[in-house]
Chain A
């Protein structure tokens, strides 16, 4: 397999990432040229592009965290979320577009984790753009075969009594994990609970924080 490319790795073993102010690359030139041609031919406006970037920047794991915290506090909302996560997200005012979103809930004996083995499908309209590792060969290959080993790399050692369920997303159906509410959070406000919900806990590679 041609993926032993150590020459692309930094001394710490991570891939190099070009800085924004590095030498202009062929693909950056293509992006500029494509964008200019589309604008000149009237297919898109610079304002539409700027607004789209702003909309994507505004999407963040905080939206998902608010959804999870609501589900922890409101059993009726949780029922609606589990039945139709797209509708429940819209109910909270999150513009998730045509995305078909499926919520999968952890409990004392079940841990869910999400991947996309074919490409990089991710609930981006709820959580924002996916982290680099979600799109990596290593994660996509291994999480379906040895999820416990992958989760251990993320610092999540699950006891054998917990069943691990791995969900493989598609372009048309994306999953979000609803983590189990941590112990010791009785009486906390929805807002304080949301602050405990991490991005990785909604992908399944982490757990919510515990209250300080």
Chain B
């Protein structure tokens, strides 16, 4: 049975797919920090879980296939924070350039 309106890509229920991948991984510190930023900044009213989802859905199917879960989350959180005026894209770009020069691994580049 075909629906009258095609589903948006993120609406995955009922679609074709292979077997369920059963590997699990422990979350890395940077992933936990992304999760914490989402919870804290949404609790503080900078954006909502719906804002997170909107950004995730607008990133499209290619992002779902090529980026990890928390990679997509930090990208979506960033979009919401820029939209909320927490900082601007020029500030972010300058800081990312500086962070990337700190070292070769997350451990070298992270602060605190």
Residues of B71-112 whose CB lies within 8 A of A? 71, 74-75, 77-78, 81, 86-87, 91-92, 95-96, 98-100, 103-112
Q: A57 vs B28: C-alpha distance in the bound complex, in angstroms?
A: 12
Closest to B82 in A: A34
Give which listed residue, A22, A24, A137, contacts B109 with CB less than 8 A. Answer: A24
Asked if A53 and B16 make an inter-chain contact with CB atoms under 8 angstroms apart, the answer reads: no
- Chain B residues near A120 (CB-CB < 8 A): 69
Asked if B105 and A52 make an inter-chain contact with CB atoms under 8 angstroms apart, the answer reads: no
Distance in Å: Cβ of A148 to nearest Cβ of chain B: 13
Bitwise interface map of B from 9 to 46 toward A, beta carbon under 8 Å scored 1, else 0: 01111111111111111011110111111011100101
- Chain A residues near B109 (CB-CB < 8 A): 24, 28-29, 32
Q: How large is the interface on A (under 10, 10 to 19, 20 to 34, 35 or more residues)?
A: 35 or more
- Chain A residues near B66 (CB-CB < 8 A): 5
- Chain B residues near A21 (CB-CB < 8 A): 105-107
A189: interface (CB < 8 Å): no
A56: interface (CB < 8 Å): yes
The B interface, classified by DSSP as helix, strand, loop or mixed, is helix
A135: interface (CB < 8 Å): yes
Q: A3 vs B65: C-alpha distance in the bound complex, in angstroms?
A: 6
- Chain A residues near B23 (CB-CB < 8 A): 14-15, 17, 132-133
Give which listed residue, A24, A31, A153, contacts B33 with CB less than 8 A. Answer: A31
Q: A197 vs B100: C-alpha distance in the bound complex, in angstroms?
A: 45
Distance in Å: Cβ of A136 to nearest Cβ of chain B: 6
Asked if A142 and B20 make an inter-chain contact with CB atoms under 8 angstroms apart, the answer reads: yes
Asked if B16 and A52 make an inter-chain contact with CB atoms under 8 angstroms apart, the answer reads: no
Q: A56 vs B61: C-alpha distance in the bound complex, in angstroms?
A: 29
Residues of A that sit less than 8 Å from B by CB:
1-3, 5, 13-15, 17-18, 20-25, 27-38, 41, 43-44, 46, 48-49, 52-53, 56-57, 115, 117-120, 129, 131-133, 135-142, 144-145, 150, 153-154, 168, 171
| Closest CB pairs A-B (n = 7) | A117-B13, A14-B23, A52-B36, A33-B95, A141-B17, A141-B15, A27-B71
